[in-house]
Amino acid sequence: MSAASLLTMQPNVRKMVAGSALLFVLFLAFWQWGPGAFGIPEFIIPPASDVWKQFLRMVAKDHLLFHTGITAMQVGVGFVLGVLLGILCGFALGMSPSAEFVLSPYILALQIAPKVAFAPLFIIWFGYTVYPKILVCVLIVFFPVMINVLGAVRALDPDIVRLAKSFTANRLQVFWKIEFPAALPPLFAGLRIAATLAVIGVLVGELVGGNIGLGYLLSVGEGAGDTAAVFVTIILLTLIGIALYGIVVAIESRVLHYLPARARLAT
């Protein structure tokens, strides 16, 4: 990137950061005083200061950071496994129409089946461990990644593949030089969707049969009628999802820097 591009980009970045920070301050102010101004009881929507106090109390007494780390670990492992499985199945089905014809109905049935219904089954199989939560996360992450990769392989112009083979390219070279790069933009679109769903998968598992994690704290807060504790867990779950989404976007900007859309964002 040229020095002129950096100079033009920095004021725009500062404006966006300032606008985002201002919006966040306004949101906090409305959260702090808005419910009281509209006569909403604190047990329905507690002020932001009460949620902050509850956060500090849960850090000190309820091992909140430990539970957050457990949930974040399960989200990360489930996301990575689901992405790898989705990529492998997407390429395998895209390259083999017969395999796609045979397996697609079963994969579709697996996607249509409610993921919440699998959580009790996984708990019966694996007990109250991390494995049921990770498996539910894998199921939720797998499908959008697989569909995007499969669509990219299908849409590839066969003339390009034939041209590469005419230049004595072997099957591995065709995959690595043509098919894999062509699938990267749709793959990252699927990763963005999967990043927003990964937290939901783990949370479902923790709510159904968890004894650790933020989902467990969420159910405890709900049972005690502690709205502030529920808000704390929701905020932390949201932050985990935002962090995972941000990692995907950062990797995408590095890998797909050559695309025109990324070039326009840079300027």
Split at pLDDT 50, 70, 90, the class of 87 is very high
Split at pLDDT 50, 70, 90, the class of 136 is very high
Does residue 36 lie within any of the structural domains? no
The answer, yes or no, to whether residue 240 has pLDDT greater than 90, is yes
Query: Over pLDDT 90: what percentage of the chain?
Result: 42
Does residue 175 lie within any of the structural domains? yes
Does residue 73 lie within any of the structural domains? yes
| Type of residue numbered 166 | S
The answer, yes or no, to whether residue 31 has pLDDT greater than 50, is yes
**Lowest-pLDDT choice from 20-29, 86-95, 132-141, 169-178:** 169-178
**Mean pLDDT of all residues in 141-147:** 92
The answer, yes or no, to whether residue 28 has pLDDT greater than 60, is yes
What CATH number does the domain containing 206 carry?
Answer: 1.10.3720.10
Among 2-11, 56-65, 100-109, name the most confident range: 56-65
Q: Comparing C-alpha atoms, which of 260, 136, 152 is closest to residue 210?
A: 136
User: In this predicted model, what pLDDT tens digit does every residue of 146-193 receive, in sequence order?
Assistant: 999 988 888 877 777 777 777 777 777 777 788 888 888 899 999 999
CB atoms within 10 A of CB 106: 9
Does residue 168 lie within any of the structural domains? yes
Q: What angle do CA 258, 264, 267 make, to 5 degrees?
A: 110
**Mean pLDDT of all residues in 49-75:** 93
Query: How high is the pLDDT of residue 261?
Result: 54
Enclosing domain of residue 216? 3-9+48-266
Query: How high is the pLDDT of residue 50?
Result: 92
Does residue 173 lie within any of the structural domains? yes
Q: Cβ distance 78 to 133 under 8 Å?
A: yes
**Mean pLDDT of all residues in 83-93:** 91
The answer, yes or no, to whether residue 97 has pLDDT greater than 90, is no
Query: Over pLDDT 70: what percentage of the chain?
Result: 92
Does residue 248 lie within any of the structural domains? yes
**Mean pLDDT of all residues in 47-56:** 93
Does residue 19 lie within any of the structural domains? no
CB atoms within 10 A of CB 31: 16
169/136 Cα distance (integer angstroms): 40
Split at pLDDT 50, 70, 90, the class of 10 is low
Query: How high is the pLDDT of residue 247?
Result: 95
Query: How high is the pLDDT of residue 1?
Result: 47
Domain count, the chain: 1
CB atoms within 10 A of CB 211: 9
Mean pLDDT, rounded, of the chain: 85
Q: Cβ distance 59 to 205 under 8 Å?
A: no
The answer, yes or no, to whether residue 77 has pLDDT greater than 50, is yes
Split at pLDDT 50, 70, 90, the class of 214 is very high
Does residue 30 lie within any of the structural domains? no
